[in-house]
Amino acid sequence: MTGGHRQPADQRERTISQDDYDNLSRRSFLVSGLALAGGVIAWRGIQNRPEIDRIPDVLRGGHSVNERIWRGLHREGAVAPTFDYAESSVLRVNGRHGLDDPLDLNTWELQVFGRNGELLGTHGVDDLRALPQTEMTVEHKCIEGWSHIVTWGGVVFRDFVDRLHPQEADAPYVGMSTPDGVYQVGLERDAMMHSQTMLTLDLQREPLDEEHGAPVRLTTPLKYGTKQIKRIGTITFSDTRPEGDYWAERGYDWFSGL
Amino acid sequence: MAETVAIERHRRGNRWTHWINGPVLLVMIWSGLRIYWADLRDPFGVGIGAWHWFDLFPTWFNETFDLERRLARGLAFHLTFGWIFVLNGLAFGVYLIRTGGWRNFVPTAADLRTIPAVLAHDLGLRKEAPPQGKYNGVQQLSYAAVIVMGFLAALSGFAIYKPTQLSFLTAAFGGYEAARFVHFWVTIGFVLFIVVHLLQVFRAGAANLWTMVTGYELLTVEADATDEIEKTDQTDDAHEKVTT
């Protein structure tokens, strides 16, 4: 010890005899050996657990715990930052699942099903254009890590529900699917009824092109792009978590909340 | 009249959090790379502005080591083990505050002045190590930095994880992309720390490493000088006993 040094509490030296040390050292050898073995067994165990939707079940459990935490902490007033239109541009196309059939705008319609399973109505693009239109410049986030500032235009989903299907405003879940049923997503009410979640018709003030999800797609800064389904064919309100979610079935977190 | 005793160097709270943190941090780096590689543009290659010096993980790197991407799996590990990292870090923080151990990491002016000598010694340019307390100035700065980095890693992680619900936190980092930038470079910092740390532990020897497990270091003291503890020679019997 050099002089003049402070002596923090954990440096007020405790000493033990050499015999006690030898016992301690043996015990430490045992404990550290067991801890090491336990760690290795746990690590290998996780890798070999049965999988639920292509992820070891314990990690699905991790996703479930996280979902409970963040749904519990959800703040309705929390909004994603918005940007100037000038900062935004057309984002890259990153997925074509569910868009294989040629798009025929003459036959396309948006079907809406209620919690009782009944068809509540069908809507065309003109019906959606007739609702209050909102423009929003936000940062689109891909689960792969990249982000892109983009301007969406369309109908806030909450407005759509309030105007056309108010009886479903308290539905706990909403499921959506492409017309061919290939791409499906499910979202919880908190995300769907958020002020920034939209049935989007326009990208950079132009109608969506086919690659970006024409005629209408979902956009929301509360979820990664994986949940922002393109070319919506059906919307189904439900009391329980909707069956089918394209990327959740392929190993990703169902919640994917931002 | 000399007597061999064992003196406490690292308390239990310090040792357990250290040994939990090591493997958990490795899992975080490993799973984090799987997330990083999901976007194969290598967004944080080294360079300034438009000037791109080199890719950190060029294609040949991934091909040579046959690295799989598996983003979904990486996310699942990262977001589950992240809680262990955070809770363990909080436990370490509580330990540092309760025991006052944080003072060990705050260098005095005298400690800072010894840094060139410590570096010279570590690089083999100087025979004698300068006198020091529990840690030398370089260790203090490194350990203090790595604690701050732990904070930054966790906070920037949450800023990336919940940029809408925690938009205030993301904004504090200067936005989503800036938070990702911080998260990435802090990780590179951890990797460099781990490399140097392991190298120094290797140089310090097995007895020193074992002290981090048992918490105690064997020393020979003068029987009648309990407050003046002299560190014994490395070749001392007591040390031989521990290392063999």
pLDDT in tens, A212-233: 998 999 999 999 999 999 999 9
Which range has the worst mean pLDDT, A6-20, A128-142, B13-27, B171-185? A6-20
Taking an 8 Å cut-off on Cβ atoms, the answer to whether B5 and A16 are in contact is yes
Instruction: Dig out the tokens for A146 from the structure.
Output: 């990249």
Are A8 and B175 inside 8 Å of each other by CB? no
pLDDT band at residue B231 using 50, 70 and 90 as cut-offs: very low
Tell whether B12 is within 8 A of chain A (Cβ).
no
Closest of B240, B169, B171 to residue B210, by C-alpha: B240
pLDDT of residue B81: 95
- Give the pLDDT band of residue B1 (cuts 50, 70, 90): low
Q: Which residues, in sequence order, are bridge partners of residue B6?
A: A16, B218
Residues 24-43 of A with CB under 8 A from B: 24-25, 28-29, 32, 35, 39
Arithmetic mean of pLDDT, B13-25:
93
**pLDDT (tens digit per residue) in A79-111:** 999 999 999 999 999 888 998 998 888 889 999
- Residue of chain B minimizing CA distance to A258: B162
- Give the three-state DSSP class for A182: coil
Q: Model ipTM?
A: 0.89
CA distances (Å), origin A232, targets A112, A156, A157, A182, A220: 10, 15, 13, 11, 14
Specify the range with the lowest mean pLDDT, choosing from A64-78, A133-147, B5-19, B85-99.
B5-19
Give the CB-side neighbour count of residue A174, counting CA atoms within 13 A.
28
Residues 187-246 of A with CB under 8 A from B: 196, 221-222
The verdict on A116 touching B (C-beta cutoff 8 Å) is no
Residue A6 has pLDDT above 70, yes or no: no
User: Which pLDDT score is estimated for A97?
Assistant: 92
The two tokens of residue A166 are 């108010």
Phi/psi of residue B233, each to 5°?
-65, 150
pLDDT for the residue B44 = 67
User: For all residues of chain B together, what is the average pLDDT?
Assistant: 81
Name the 3-class secondary structure at A146: coil
Binned at pLDDT 50, 70 and 90, residue A1 comes out as very low
Q: How far apart are CA B213 and CA A116, in angstroms?
A: 62
Express each pLDDT in B21-80 by its tens digit: 999 999 999 999 888 888 766 666 665 555 555 666 666 666 666 556 688 999 999 999
pLDDT in tens, B100-115: 888 888 887 777 888 8
The sign of the torsion formed by the CA atoms of B144, B148, B154, B156 equals: negative
Report residue B228's pLDDT band, with 50, 70 and 90 as the boundaries.
Answer: very low
Confidence at B126, pLDDT banded by 50, 70, 90: confident
Cβ atoms < 10 Å from Cβ of B152: 17
All residues of chain B having their beta carbon less than 8 Å from the beta carbon of residue A58 are 80
Within 83-142 of B, beta carbons closer than 8 Å to A belong to: 83, 99-104, 108, 110, 131-134
Q: Do B72 and A15 touch (CB under 8 A)?
A: no
Per-residue model confidence (pLDDT) at position A59:
94
Helix count and strand count (H, E) for chain B = 10, 4
**Residue A210, burial from CB neighbour count under 10 angstroms (0-12, 13-18, 19+):** middle
Q: With a cut of 70, say whether residue A183 has pLDDT above it.
A: yes
CA atoms within 13 A on the CB side of A172: 5
pLDDT score of B243 = 33
Q: Mean pLDDT of all residues in chain A?
A: 92
Cis peptide before A8 (omega within 30 of 0): no
pLDDT interval class at B122 (50, 70, 90): confident
* pLDDT band at residue A132 under the 50/70/90 scheme: very high
Encode B92-129: b = buried (16+ Cβ within 10 Å), e = exposed: beebbeebebbbbbebeeebeebbebbeebbeeeeeee
Q: Which residue of chain B comes nearest to A57, CA vs CA? A: B76
Query: How many angstroms away from the CA of A233 is the closest CA of chain B?
Result: 27
pLDDT at B142 over 80: yes
Can you tell me the mean pLDDT for A133-140?
96
Averaged pLDDT for residues A144-151: 93
- A91 vs B: CB within 8 A: no
The CA distance from A238 to A243, in Å, is 10
Across the A:B interface, residue pairs with CB atoms under 8 Å apart total: 160
pLDDT for position B75: 94
pLDDT at A14 over 70: yes
Highest mean pLDDT among A165-169, B128-132, B233-237: A165-169
Report the chain B residue with the minimal C-alpha distance to residue A252: B72
Q: Give the C-alpha separation, B20 to B155, whole Å.
A: 20
pLDDT band at A252 (very low <50, low <70, confident <90, very high): very high
Q: Which residues of A touch B215 (CB under 8 A)?
A: 24, 28
Query: A62 vs B11: CB contact, 8 Å cut-off?
Result: no
Measured in angstroms, the CA of B103 and the nearest CA of chain A are apart by 6
